[in-house]
């Protein structure tokens, strides 16, 4: 189980995340939604210790998460990745294996097999020698998904994986998510897509600095909760989905 208690983050004295607490069970896809600037990315970074938190405890399997970061995969929001970094598709995915083999050892044959399988799984093996900066947005997302797969993590974080991807890539991402879920992993997925993606989630967290609602889609997506998180701007949300 992933357990987050009273997590808070300030950027230069301004509160970005406040008193966030929730629990997630193995084999669950956890959707995180909320308006721009709600603190979704910040919350994930604070869970991973990538930004300092002013308070909070994060436990995974009853132990501090920061002592188990090799069980964690994280795919950042696209805008936060340096795409000019000169590295091939194959090496991006192979990097996931360094947690297992160390930086300076030759990757083992089994690591290379795992990398290959992950690239096949997302349909990117043919482009393995391409520079990562020379891929389309959807192809880049698939490579990062392959990296998360190759890492064989137990806890996976995806920050807006559906942005700018076509239906085919979206379908591949969903399939892989379902597979990981059936292996008992926990997936935390930030999304702006209030449609299909939400129906795949076992648990939803609606965030606007604080947790506005936490539960099933039906429990969370009430007109009242949506209004509290997004204000009046989201009148398009139709009550049939609620
Ligand atoms: N490095 C930073 N320094 C200062 N303020 C920051 C920093 N990163 C984010 N913020 C601020 O913290 C708040 C939360 O930002 P965050 O990126 O977590 O939101 P988000 O919910 O992920 O938004 P989006 O949907 O646009 O990705 C925003 O007000 C943002 O301006
Ligand atoms: Mg974000």
CATH number, domain with residue 122: 3.40.50.300
Specify the residue with its C-alpha closest to ligand 1, atom 2. Answer: 11
Under the banding of pLDDT at 50, 70 and 90, the label for residue 240 is: very low
Please report which residue ranges of the chain form alpha helices under DSSP H.
40-47, 89-94, 98-101, 109-121, 137-151, 167-182, 196-199, 217-220, 223-230
Q: Strand 28-33 relative to strand 186-190: parallel, antiparallel, unpaired?
A: parallel
Assess whether the C-beta atom of 24 lies below 6 angstroms from ligand 1. Answer: no
42 CA: nearest ligand 1 atom: 18
Structural domain harbouring 112: 26-35+70-234
Number of domains in the chain: 1
Structure tokens at 162: 């559906």
Q: Is residue 205 part of a domain?
A: yes
Residue 170 belongs to a domain: yes
- Say how many Å lie between the CA of residue 179 and the centre of ligand 1: 31
Ligand 1 site-directed mutation target among 7, 16, 20, most atoms within 8 Å of CB: 16
Q: Is residue 240 part of a domain?
A: no
Taking CA atoms only, the protein residue closest to ligand 1 atom 28 is 37
At residue 241, the pLDDT reads 44
Domain-embedded: residue 11: no
Q: Give me the pLDDT at residue 242, please.
A: 38
Check the CA dihedral 135-136-139-145 and report its sign. Answer: positive
Residue 204 and residue 198 in contact, taking contact as beta carbons nearer than 8 Å? yes
Question: What mean pLDDT is reported for the chain?
Answer: 89
Strand 2-11 and strand 14-24: pairing? antiparallel
151 lines ligand 1 (CB under 6 A): no
The answer to whether residue 177 scores a pLDDT higher than 70 is: yes
Query: Is 151 a member of any domain?
Result: yes
For residue 38 and ligand 1, the question of a CB distance below 6 A is answered with yes
Question: Sorting pLDDT into bands at 50, 70 and 90, what band is 90?
Answer: very high
> Is 74 a domain residue?
yes
Name the pLDDT band for 220 (thresholds 50, 70, 90): very high
Confidence of residue 151 (pLDDT cuts 50, 70, 90): very high
Q: Say how many Å lie between the CA of residue 36 and the centre of ligand 2.
A: 7
Please check whether residue 224 lies inside any domain of the structure: yes
Domain assignment of residue 64, yes or no: no
pLDDT of residue 104: 62
- Say yes or no: CB of residue 11 within 6 Å of ligand 1: yes
Least confident of 41-45, 79-83, 146-150, 158-162: 79-83
CA of residue 116 to ligand 1 center, whole Å: 35
Average pLDDT score over residue span 11-35: 96
> Would you say residue 39 has pLDDT above 90?
yes
Q: What is the pLDDT of residue 212?
A: 96
Tokens of 132: 């990562």
208 lines ligand 1 (CB under 6 A): no
Q: Which ligand is nearest to the CA of 16?
A: 1
**Whether residue 37 has its Cβ less than 6 Å from ligand 1:** yes
- Which atom in ligand 1 lies closest to the alpha carbon of residue 17? 14
Q: Is 85 in the pocket of ligand 1 (CB under 6 A)?
A: no
More confident residue, 211 or 162: 211
Is residue 79 scored above 90 in pLDDT? no
In 34-90, at which residue ranges do the beta strands (DSSP E only) sit?
55-60, 63-64, 72-75
């Amino acid at each position: 189980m992933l357990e987050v208690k009273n997590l808070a983050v300030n950027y230069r004295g301004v509160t970005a995340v406040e008193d966030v607490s929730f629990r997630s069970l193995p084999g669950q896809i956890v959707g995180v939604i909320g308006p721009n600037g709600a603190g979704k990315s910040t919350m994930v970074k604070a869970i991973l210790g990538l930004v300092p938190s002013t308070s909070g405890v994060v436990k995974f399997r009853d132990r501090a998460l920061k002592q188990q970061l090799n069980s964690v995969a994280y795919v950042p929001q696209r805008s936060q990745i340096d795409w000019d970094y000169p590295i091939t598709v194959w090496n991006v995915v192979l990097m996931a294996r360094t947690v297992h083999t160390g930086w300076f050892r030759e990757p083992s044959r089994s690591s290379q097999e795992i990398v290959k399988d992950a690239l096949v799984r997302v349909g990117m093996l043919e482009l393995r020698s391409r520079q990562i900066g020379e891929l389309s947005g959807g192809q880049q997302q698939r490579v990062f998904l392959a990296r998360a797969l190759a890492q064989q993590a137990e806890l996976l974080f995806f920050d807006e994986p559906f942005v700018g991807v076509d239906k085919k890539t979206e379908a591949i991402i969903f399939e892989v998510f379902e597979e990981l879920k059936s292996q008992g992993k926990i997936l935390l997925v930030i999304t702006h897509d209030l449609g299909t993606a939400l129906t795949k989630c076992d648990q939803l967290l609606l965030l606007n600095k604080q947790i506005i609602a936490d539960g099933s889609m039906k429990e969370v997506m009430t007109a009242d909760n949506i209004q509290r998180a997004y204000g009046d701007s989201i009148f398009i949300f139709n009550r049939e989905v609620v």
